[in-house]
């Protein structure tokens, strides 16, 4: 039997009613799913997961981090911090892009350090630099900028491959993670803005 529709009893639902239920008016729901806060929280959780895995490898598997590993952790912590601040602040417009750029810069720094780490691990044995002092010792003896320069040059500790998964070393997986975080930072600002604009345009037309 015919259903009760917007046009009255005994009539089928109108085409407009079907469009309202399944068409443009579903965009507000999409905008809610792609909210800036939720996407930033996912980015933050991704960074927390990466750092937690690094600590697990260190404290439960015995993989002591080299200076480059520590710098990569700092970059990931920085990206996670800006994701978290963005989620808590939940700004509109340019504020979203400000946090996205800051998180992206941290992720790009992580990509550069991890790529340098991968390059160092790929050197022939006779070209690997000699092992140097620990990061704590360097920070206690030298200015910070000199320490950064020395760490980025790398040493024998950073050239050691402790573990691989699917044929890729840990620094390679870290670099892939940073690339993903870099794209995610931009998407976290762009997708909610696009969804909100489409939802607003749909509401205006209706």
pLDDT digits (tens, 9 = 90+) for 104-153: 999 999 999 899 888 777 767 665 555 555 555 455 555 666 666 665 55
Above pLDDT 90, what percent of the chain?
34
User: Cα–Cα distances in Å, from 154 out to 34, 53, 86, 173?
Assistant: 41, 23, 33, 19
pLDDT digits (tens, 9 = 90+) for 2-24: 444 444 454 444 444 434 444 44
CATH 1.20.1550.10 matches 29-205: yes
pTM above the 0.85 mark?
Answer: no
For the chain, what are the domain ranges? 29-205
- Burial level of 179, CB count in 10 A (0-12/13-18/19+)? middle
If one counts every other C-beta atom within 10 angstroms of the C-beta of residue 153, the result is 13
* H-only helix segments in the chain: 15-22, 27-33, 36-60, 67-89, 94-121, 135-141, 144-153, 156-159, 170-205
Which of 111, 77, 80 is CA-nearest to residue 180?
111
DSSP state of 93: T
């Amino acid at each position: 039997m015919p259903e009760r529709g917007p046009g009255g009893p005994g009539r089928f639902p109108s085409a407009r009613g079907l469009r309202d239920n399944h068409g443009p008016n579903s965009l507000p729901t999409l905008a809610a799913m792609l909210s800036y806060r939720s996407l930033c929280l996912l980015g933050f959780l991704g960074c927390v997961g990466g750092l937690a895995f690094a600590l697990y490898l260190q404290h439960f598997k015995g993989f002591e981090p080299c200076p480059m590993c520590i710098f990569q952790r700092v970059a990931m912590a920085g990206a996670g911090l800006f994701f978290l601040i963005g989620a808590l602040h939940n700004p509109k417009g340019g504020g979203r892009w400000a946090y996205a750029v800051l998180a992206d810069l941290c992720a790009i720094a992580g990509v550069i350090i991890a790529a340098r780490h991968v390059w160092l691990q790929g050197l022939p044995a006779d070209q690997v630099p000699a092992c140097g002092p620990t990061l704590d010792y360097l920070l206690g003896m030298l200015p910070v900028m000199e320490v950064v320069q020395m760490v980025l040059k790398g040493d024998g500790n950073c050239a050691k491959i402790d573990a691989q998964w699917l044929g890729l070393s840990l620094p390679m997986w870290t670099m892939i993670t940073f690339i993903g975080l870099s794209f995610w930072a931009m998407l976290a600002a762009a997708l909610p803005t696009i969804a909100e604009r489409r939802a607003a345009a749909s509401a205006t037309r209706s």
